[in-house]
Amino acid sequence: MDEEKHQLVGKQNGVGNKLTVDEVVEEYVGSFGFSQLVQVTLVSIARIFDSHCTLVTIFTDAQPQSWRCIGHGCSGEAAASVCGLKPGTWEWSGGNTSSTIAEWGLVCDRRFLAALPTSVYFLGSLIGSAVFGRLADGCLGRKRAVLASCLLTAATIFLTSFSPNIWVYSLLRFANGFSRAGIGICSLVLSTETIGRKWRGQVGQFGFFFFAAGFLSIPLIAYPTRNCWRTLYRIISILPLLYSIFILMPFVAESPRWLLVRGRSEEALDVLRRYAGMNGRELPPNLCLLKPTSTNETMTSRKGENNASPIERLWNTRWAVRRMTMVMLTGFGIGFVYYGVQLNVENLNFNLYFTVAINAMMEIPAVFIGSVLLAFTNRRMLFSTSAFLTGISCILCMFFSRTGDKRKRGSLPQLMIEATGFMAASTAFDVLYIYCVELFPTNVRNFCVSMLRQSLMLGASISPLLVVFGRSSPSLSFLVFGVLSITSGFLSLWLPETRNSPLYETLEQQEEEEMLGSESLELGKKVQM
């Protein structure tokens, strides 16, 4: 019976009737089987290191909570603040090695320097997103881009622990931001490109569970090392190195979609055969994959674009430019709010490790809710609703901050509202990545996700300055968070819906198929009328 089926398939899939990767996955490999689960899990582990890199400064760059007098002249009204004391008359209770602020004296007239390392870290991520996005779509591929990013991340984190001053420290944080940029975008694309349409949204959310796990684990690693910030950096630098050597290189496969676009169809088929075998299935022996460019060569040559790269064609395609612009504007606001709220926890009147753990735990229901809702709701509606909820929560926090008494900024109602807003921001942040993956075809997908990443990082690079400013004017900072989030929600309404849409391979194919789809939809409406 199986032989007859294979022979029938062989006849159907001759030279004139090849199958796309989507069709092979849906019909023969399985939409989401054991092999894809293993692949997604192994790839998504890298998101833990992405989380560590981003959030480690909450502890290493935190201002110590207390200080004590050690000499004459440290009493009276002058002792109300360290800014009124002479050097050598006081010291931090936890010692000068507990954080970079304590070691390098980043207080009083130097307090704004404390925001520099985090800001340049996100600027490094912005540039790194562009570089890794192009490399992953081009010569490097998805898997090797993740590998390079993990190895560079391990090296730059380790070197950061030897920083002699704030300037070298900031430079190395920039390098660290650049290095880790490939982890998020490339692991997301690598995870989703072998998944069927039904499970793509939920699987795309899978990596954010590991990001949340990294978020939750960083206070557990930071607490035992609270007296030496350099030790914390050295510990988290070991993890991506071990992952690269013992998990990523031997067990993770390259994306068959990327292999096919690069003309390596036999290798793509080998990957799909391995997936099918692990799922207890088998591909027909004479199965051929449809090359993405074969159906569009005539149209491409007619337009004189044979020598143009996919990215050049992206910027010359009007609908793609409009779509990319809206995605980036939306991402800027969400990135600003998502990272700004995380960095702002040190300004709350609660234990730092406790507040970070609360925010980390808010990530878990956010990812779970997003995964469930993505199964039966539209991407556009889910994202915009989450962004609106974030904005409303931030504006409510603004009213709790209308006081000059800084101790009331950490009130319990405000903490609860802020945690709710952060959960909604996390949902919007996660869904936007999935949305972007589905909005663009394979040959520019990694580049487009990297452009989204750049807009997120641009927003994130500005947020530390607002956090510092918010120490003296908290209501204004929450107002800015709220307005940007609501604006992002409105901008997303101009994007097309992608739920249950196929993943296209090229811009030309996507334009052609979407045009046919819209024409069929209009024809259906006319028939109903």
pLDDT tens sequence across 128-139: 988 898 888 888
Give the closest residue to 181 by CA, choosing from 141, 121, 95.
121
Angle formed by the axes of helices 442-469 and 166-192, to 10°? 140
Give the closest residue to 463 by CA, choosing from 347, 342, 340, 348.
340
What are the pLDDT tens digits along the chain (529 aa)? 444 444 444 444 444 458 888 889 989 999 999 999 999 999 999 999 999 999 899 889 887 766 667 766 666 555 556 676 666 666 777 777 888 988 888 777 777 788 899 899 999 988 998 889 888 888 899 999 999 999 999 999 999 999 999 999 999 999 999 999 999 888 988 998 889 888 877 787 788 889 889 999 999 999 999 889 999 999 999 999 999 999 999 999 999 999 998 889 899 999 999 999 999 998 888 888 887 654 444 444 444 445 677 888 888 888 889 999 999 999 999 999 998 888 877 666 677 787 888 888 888 888 888 888 888 889 999 999 999 999 999 888 877 765 444 444 456 777 788 888 889 998 999 899 889 988 998 788 878 888 898 898 889 888 888 877 766 677 788 888 999 999 999 999 999 988 878 878 888 888 887 776 655 545 555 545 5
Q: What angle do CA 365, 366, 369 make, to 5 degrees?
A: 80
For residues 134 and 125, the answer to whether their CB atoms sit within 8 Å is no
Looking at residue 253, the DSSP 8-state letter turns out to be P
DSSP 391-403: HHHHHHHHHHT-S
Report the Cα 105 to chain-centroid distance in Å. 33
| Beta bridge mates, 90 | 69
